Amino acid sequence: MVGIVSYGFYVPKYRIKTEVIANVWGKNPEDVKKSLLIEEKAVAGIDEDSLTMAFESASSALSRVDVDRNKIKVVLFGSETHPYAVNPASTILAEFLGIEKNYLAYDTEFACKAATGALISAQGLIKSGYSDYALVTGSDKGMGKTHDVLEYTAASGAVSLLLGKDNLILEILDFESFSSDTPDFWRREGIRYPSHGGRFTGKPSYFYHIEEASKSLFKKTHLSAKDFSFAVFHMPNGKFPVQVANSLGFSPTQIKDSLTVNYLGNSYTASALMGLAAILEKAKPGNLIFLCSYGSGAGSDSFALRVTKNLFGKRRKEFKHVVEDKKYIDYPAYLKFMEII
């Protein structure tokens, strides 16, 4: 059985409240919060990017296990905001971590599901016998145009997963994927900010792909929503994951602990995995966890995970502490951190 041996996460300490942004543009803050169900979001500092945050989360994941780093022969980095257009972030990350050079590394890109696609690839490489361990990281410094809805939601953060076969904290029971050519969201080369596909947003993209990937997994595993203790979905805002969970038969109790978007925003590639990190604070051995990502363009990866007794020795018990260690910034500071001014 291949699964997750350890995990780590990183949340920048800076926050900006929804009302701060709304007030700049003359919007009613309560209307914006009611529409998006986001109170505030995490903002990367001016000296942080997807790579520095990836290093923090990966270091955390590796610090909790006694693993020979020379046995990590797969390093995958999923992101929408790689620091270089041409130059892999995965090799820089591996170098920072002290992993020897006999490894396979590549960056993955599929909007907000780049990391879960990498997770599937890493699982296959371990299962094939190519490597004992694989490191998968999802990290993004999300940003949107000023006076755009993304300005309220696009956030920053990173999550890293160390995969292997022994001493697992989470078993990957199975997975499914569903993809199509759906232009709901994109950013062309040389263009700084992404664009929205209007009528392709929502039902024909997020909901359609998550529902189909989830139903395929239910059929394949002979499981249903009621068999899972927890569920986590990609979180572009606070409403979508709640709505799609309900459509698939999950209860509010099953999803509530994963909704980090309400107080951290949408960290793009790290979004669903950040919800998973929050869930692992409360999960117990034997619990089944349902995970489903979404990436614009469009596609979803769904997973059935089972918690093992090893989680107790590697549980962070620090998610709440990290989230509450924060510093609020004003709008001019936010623009500076995002390198807009």
Which tens digits make up the pLDDT trace of 53-90? 999 999 999 999 999 999 999 999 999 999 998 999 99
CA neighbor of 151 nearest in space, from 316, 62, 32: 32
Helix ranges, 128-239 (H): 150-153, 208-221
The one-letter code for the residue type at 58 is: A
What is the spatial distance between Cα 52 and Cα 96, in angstroms, rounded to a whole number?
Answer: 10
pLDDT score of 158 more than 70: yes
Whether 3-169+314-337 and 173-307 share one fold: the answer is yes
pTM for this prediction = 0.97
Q: Cβ distance 16 to 153 under 8 Å?
A: no
pLDDT, mean of residues 253-274: 98
Which amino acids are annotated catalytic? 80, 112, 234
Name the CATH architecture for the domain at 173-307. 3-Layer(aba) Sandwich (3.40)
Q: Cβ distance 220 to 172 under 8 Å?
A: no
Q: State whether residue 177 is helix, strand or coil.
A: strand
Which tens digits make up the pLDDT trace of 177-216? 999 999 887 788 888 878 777 767 888 899 999 999 999 9
Domain layout of the chain by residue ranges: 3-169+314-337, 173-307
Q: State whether residue 72 is helix, strand or coil.
A: strand
What is the spatial distance between Cα 119 and Cα 3, in angstroms, rounded to a whole number?
Answer: 10
Q: Please give the full DSSP string across 76-95, using - where no structure is assigned.
A: EEE-SS-S-SSS-HHHHHHH
* Residue 264 banded pLDDT, cuts 50, 70, 90: very high
Is omega for the bond preceding 298 within 30 degrees of 0, making it cis? Answer: yes
Q: Which pLDDT score, from 0 to 100, does residue 37 have?
A: 98
For the chain, the average pLDDT equals 95
Name the CATH architecture for the domain at 3-169+314-337. 3-Layer(aba) Sandwich (3.40)
CA neighbor of 152 nearest in space, from 38, 274, 295: 38
Which tens digits make up the pLDDT trace of 93-147? 999 999 999 999 999 999 999 999 999 999 999 999 999 999 999 999 998 889 9
Quick one: 6 exposed, middle or buried, by C-beta within 10 A (0-12, 13-18, 19+)? buried
Q: Which pLDDT score, from 0 to 100, does residue 317 have?
A: 66
What is the spatial distance between Cα 330 and Cα 20, in angstroms, rounded to a whole number?
Answer: 7
Q: Which pLDDT score, from 0 to 100, does residue 316 have?
A: 62
Q: Cβ distance 302 to 292 under 8 Å?
A: yes
